[in-house]
Chains A and B, each alone.
Chain A
Amino acid sequence: MPSRIDLRRLYDTGAQLAPAVHQPQNWPYEVPHDRFEAYMWPPHDVAGQADIPVRYEEKEEEEWELKTYVTCEVLGWKGIWNAEERRRRGNNDLGLSLYYGFPYYGRWIWAAARMLVDKNHVSLTELLEKIAEVRARYGKS
């Protein structure tokens, strides 16, 4: 269980991930059409957005990134999913804030876990308990 301070930080951080153009949409509400179109747009279609210049760096994949790649490919070879479009759809299902917030392979592993739960290869409870067990093994709560 997070400390009260950690919990407050979590809520505050989450609130900052809300759209910059944020109006409560409970009632009364109005969604202008251009905003609706922006909501419906698949987040992976990133071209055309304004951005600042980014410095290009050669970077080796980290171990968790390589393991994520291999895991997703093996799930494909095993016929559990197709590792291209099915995975990309899962990446998009993160929504805009998380899609842009996660690193590249973070999207992959999230999509793989979600697919395994969706297809009943693992129950969510089983997965949560496993993650908790591994965290405990590494001394993290």
Chain B
Amino acid sequence: MANRETGNVLARFNVGDRVRVKDLPNLFYSRTQMYVRGVSGVIASRTYQSLVPEDEAWNRDEAQPQQFYIVRFRQKDLWEEYPFDNDTLQTELPEGWLEPATD
């Protein structure tokens, strides 16, 4: 299911959009790292469309695939004590974990 390069789901976000990672509870399984939850970043690129991990892990093959994005965060926004202002961290997240940032 992974790496489906061409999907047909309309992507909600564009490169450059500011998004915030939803702070959903933990239960059983997720690939959304704890340290990005509730933090805002910028869409660096769109990657592919695929089942989200929460569906794929339980073989919900009929579920709607989602657009995945590379999101870029400022390291200082992730780790308070991080010493360098300009460093960034990129990670990949599915659309359902993202919402438009208000900050």
Contact = CB atoms under 8 A, between A and B. Distances in A.
A and B co-occur in one complex:
yes
Interface of A: 37, 40-42, 45, 47-48, 81-82, 84-86, 88-89, 92
A82 B25 contact: no
Contact of B57 (A41, A45, A89): A89
A76 B92 CA distance: 23
Chain B contact residues: helix, strand, loop or mixed? loop
A85 B26 contact: no
Contact of B34 (A48, A81, A92): A48
B26 A42 contact: yes
A82 B34 contact: no
B34 A85 contact: no
A39 B35 CA distance: 16
Contacts of B29: 42, 85, 88-89, 92
Interface in B1-16: 1-2
Contacts of B58: 86, 89
Nearest to B34: A45
A88 B26 contact: no
Given A88-B29, A89-B28, A89-B58, 17 more contacts: A37-B26, A40-B25, A40-B26, A41-B26, A42-B26, A42-B29, A45-B30, A47-B33, A47-B35, A48-B35, A81-B59, A82-B1, A84-B1, A84-B2, A85-B31, A86-B56, A89-B57
A41 B2 CA distance: 24
A41 B58 CA distance: 18
A89 B56 CA distance: 10
8 contacts: A37-B26, A41-B26, A42-B30, A47-B33, A86-B57, A88-B53, A88-B57, A92-B28
A36 to B, nearest CB: 10
A82 B34 CA distance: 24
Contacts of A89: 28-29, 57-58
